[in-house]
Amino acid sequence: MRLPDEPDLPAQINIVPMIDVIFAILTFFIVATLFLNKSEGLPVNLPQASTAKPQISTKVTVSIEPDGEIALNRKPLELDALEGQIRDMVTDEQKVTVIINADQQVGHGQVVAVMDRIRKIDGAKLAIATRRP
């Protein structure tokens, strides 16, 4: 019940809690999008190259770890099985870009052996992953 001598107070809407909620939602979406990038290669220490060009379509990633282990799209395999696995991924209509993601500690001979196997495959383009200095 209201007394007749009380002044009328205008209704107020406090927007500070609403702003806090909006910023919390915005923060959630920003953090969530940071985890959406997909990396097919294993984490290796890439060599630097100032003339590196980004590759638009990556279908196949061959990783060579410092201990010499080879992985195709993060699945370990032997060098002898590499060519057959990649050949199964190549179709007549679609060419495949094979990115070699070799650690800088890996011997040159092993990288060349992997490159040689990939170059035997018709329809497979070869690229070597680097990082900018």
pLDDT of residue 102: 86
Return per-residue pLDDT of the chain as tens, 133 residues: 556 677 777 778 888 889 999 999 999 999 888 877 655 566 767 777 877 776 555 478 888 888 888 888 888 889 888 888 888 877 766 778 888 888 888 888 888 988 888 888 887 888 888 777 7
Model confidence pLDDT, tens digit, residues 84-117 = 888 887 776 677 888 888 888 888 888 898 888 8
CATH code of the region 60-128: 3.30.420.270
Burial class (CB in 10 A: 0-12, 13-18, 19+), 74: exposed
87: closest CA among 130, 39, 124, 38?
124
Domain layout of the chain by residue ranges: 60-128
Q: What are phi and psi of 63, to 5 degrees?
A: -105, 140
